[in-house]
C-alpha cells in the first residue's frame, strides 16, 4: 500500500530553495521573507529537519506580493487583497507589463524633452513659454501613469468576476434607466470628493468617532438621500438580486484597490466611522435587544418586538436616514455584500433580516 502524500507537498529536492537561496536568487532579504511569513502572507513548508523550503507555489506568492507592493499597497492591505479572491499572477504581470511599457515610453519622451531643454540652458539660451509648458505637461503625464495601471487592474477584475453576458445585462439596465445613470454619475463624483476628504482626515490621524469625521459621515448620508442611492439599489434588487449583489460587491473590491491600494485603509476607516456614529451605536443597542428576544420569540409579528421596532423607526427619523422600510431593506441587502470585506466588523445580518420582516408586519407609524 502506497504511503499517503504529505499535505504540504515535497519538502526537499532540486525545485526547493532554502531561505538563504531564495533570498539570494530573488533579491529579497531573509528578513523580508520572515516578515512576510509573520504577517501571514506566505507559509513555506518545512523540510524533515525543520528548515523552511520555498518552491514554485511560494515563489509565485512572493511574485504577487512584490507586484502588489509596487502598486503601493502595505503588507496589511496585501493580506486583505490576497484573502478576497485575489487577482491571478498572470493578470498582475499583465498590468505590470502595461505599466512599465507606459512608463518606458513616457520616460523616453520626457528624457528627449529634458535633454533638449538642458542643451538650450547650457548654451545660455532661454526657454520659450511653449517649452516651459511642455516640461510641466510631461511631468504631469508621468505622474498619471500609475493611475492608468490601476484602470487596467479594474478591467482585469471585471473580466475575472463577471461574464460578458453579465456585464451586458448590467449595462443594459443602466441604458434603460437614463435618469438613474445621471444621478449615479453625479453621486459618484461627489462621493469621490468626500472619500478624498475622508482620506485626508485619516492621514491627519483623526479618530473615526471625531466630530470632523462624523460631520463628513452625516454629509455623506445626505448625499445618498439627495441622489436616491438606497431607492435605486432597492429597485435593482427587485430587478435582479444576483446581478446587483455581484456588481455592488465588485464595486467595493475595486474601491478598496483604488489609489494604489489606499482605498482599503479609507474603507476600513469609513466602516469604523459608521460603527461609532450616533445611529450606528443606537442600532447596535436595539439589535442586541432584538437578538436576545429572538431566542424565545421567533415570530416577527410578536408584540415582544413592538418597542424595539418603534425604536428603529425613531432612529431613522432622528438621524435623517430616510424612509424606514427603504433603509432597512437596503441595510439588510447590502450587509452580506459588504461584510466579507470587513471581517473585523460586528455582523448583525440575521437581525437585520428579522427587522425587515418585523417592520413589514406592522403599520408604518404616522
Nearest 5°: the CA angle 289, 291, 295 is 115
Using 50, 70 and 90 to split pLDDT, how confident is the model at 79? confident
Using 50, 70 and 90 to split pLDDT, how confident is the model at 327? very high
Residue 83 in contact with residue 130, Cβ under 8 Å?
no
**Least confident stretch, 144-148, 152-156, 177-181:** 144-148
Q: What percent of the chain has pLDDT over 90?
A: 35
Mean pLDDT taken over the chain: 81
84-98 average pLDDT score? 73
DSSP secondary structure string for all residues of 156-224: HHHHHHS-HHHHHHHHHHHHT-HHHHHHHHHHHHHHHHHHHHHHHHHHTT--TTSHHHHHHHHHHHHHH
Using 50, 70 and 90 to split pLDDT, how confident is the model at 247? confident
Cα gap 264→257, rounded to integer Å: 6
Residue 322 in contact with residue 301, Cβ under 8 Å?
no
Phi-psi category of residue 227: left, alpha or beta, with phi > 0 → left and psi -120 to 50 → alpha = alpha
* Full 3-state SS string of 322-348: CCHHHHHHHHHHHHHHHHHHCCCCCCC
**Least confident stretch, 11-15, 75-79, 117-121, 353-357:** 11-15
Residue 182: pLDDT over 90: yes
152 vs 316, higher pLDDT: 316
What CA–CA distances, in Å, run from 182 to 176, 178, 189, 227, 355?
12, 6, 11, 9, 32
Residue 138: pLDDT over 90: no
Domain boundaries, the chain: 19-83, 89-161, 166-275, 277-360
Most confident of 9-23, 49-63, 73-87, 101-115: 49-63
Scan for cell 529536492, then name that residue.
13
In degrees and rounded to multiples of 5, residue 348 shows phi and psi of -125, 30
- The one-character DSSP state at 52 is B
**pLDDT, tens only, 101-132:** 766 777 777 777 777 777 777 777 777 777 66
**pLDDT, tens only, 163-178:** 888 888 988 999 999 9
Phi-psi category of residue 13: left, alpha or beta, with phi > 0 → left and psi -120 to 50 → alpha = left
Using 50, 70 and 90 to split pLDDT, how confident is the model at 149? low
Q: pLDDT at position 156, please?
A: 65
Cα gap 105→274, rounded to integer Å: 44
Residue 7: pLDDT over 60: no
Using 50, 70 and 90 to split pLDDT, how confident is the model at 137? low
Looking at the domain that runs over 19-83, which CATH code has it been given? 1.10.1660.10
Amino acid at each position: 500500500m502506497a504511503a499517503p502524500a504529505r499535505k504540504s507537498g515535497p519538502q526537499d529536492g532540486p525545485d526547493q530553495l532554502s531561505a538563504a537561496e531564495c533570498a539570494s536568487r530573488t533579491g529579497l532579504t531573509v528578513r523580508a521573507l520572515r516578515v512576510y511569513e509573520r504577517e501571514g502572507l506566505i507559509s513555506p513548508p518545512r523540510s524533515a529537519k525543520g528548515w523552511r523550503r520555498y518552491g514554485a507555489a511560494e515563489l509565485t506568492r512572493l511574485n504577487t506580493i512584490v507586484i502588489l507592493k509596487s502598486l503601493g499597497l502595505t503588507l496589511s492591505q496585501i493580506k486583505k487583497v490576497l484573502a478576497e479572491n485575489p487577482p491571478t499572477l498572470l493578470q498582475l504581470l499583465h498590468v505590470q507589463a502595461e505599466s512599465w511599457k507606459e512608463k518606458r515610453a513616457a520616460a523616453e519622451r520626457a528624457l528627449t524633452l529634458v535633454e533638449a531643454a538642458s542643451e538650450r540652458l547650457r548654451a545660455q539660451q532661454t526657454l520659450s513659454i511653449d517649452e516651459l509648458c511642455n516640461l510641466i505637461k510631461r511631468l504631469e503625464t508621468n505622474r498619471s501613469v500609475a493611475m492608468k495601471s490601476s484602470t487596467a487592474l479594474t478591467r482585469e477584475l471585471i473580466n475575472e468576476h463577471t461574464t460578458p453576458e453579465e456585464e451586458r445585462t448590467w449595462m443594459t439596465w443602466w441604458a434603460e434607466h437614463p435618469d438613474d445613470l445621471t444621478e449615479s454619475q453625479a453621486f459618484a463624483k461627489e462621493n469621490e470628493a468626500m472619500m478624498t476628504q475622508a482620506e485626508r482626515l485619516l492621514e491627519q490621524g483623526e479618530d473615526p468617532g471625531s466630530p470632523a469625521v462624523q460631520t463628513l459621515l452625516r454629509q455623506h448620508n445626505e448625499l445618498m438621500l439627495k441622489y436616491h442611492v438606497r431607492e435605486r439599489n432597492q429597485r435593482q434588487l427587485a430587478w435582479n438580486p444576483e446581478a446587483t449583489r455581484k456588481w455592488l460587491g465588485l464595486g467595493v473590491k475595486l474601491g478598496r484597490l483604488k489609489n494604489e491600494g489606499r482605498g482599503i485603509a479609507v474603507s476600513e476607516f469609513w466602516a469604523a466611522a459608521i460603527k461609532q456614529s450616533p445611529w450606528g451605536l443606537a442600532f447596535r443597542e436595539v439589535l442586541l435587544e432584538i437578538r436576545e428576544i429572538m431566542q424565545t420569540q421567533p415570530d416577527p409579528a410578536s408584540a415582544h418586538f413592538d418597542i424595539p421596532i418603534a425604536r428603529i423607526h425613531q432612529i431613522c427619523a432622528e438621524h435623517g436616514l430616510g424612509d424606514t422600510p427603504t433603509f432597512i431593506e437596503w441595510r439588510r441587502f447590502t450587509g452580506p455584500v459588504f461584510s466579507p470585506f470587513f471581517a473585523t466588523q460586528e455582523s448583525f445580518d440575521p437581525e437585520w433580516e428579522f427587522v425587515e420582516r418585523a417592520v413589514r408586519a406592522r403599520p408604518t407609524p404616522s
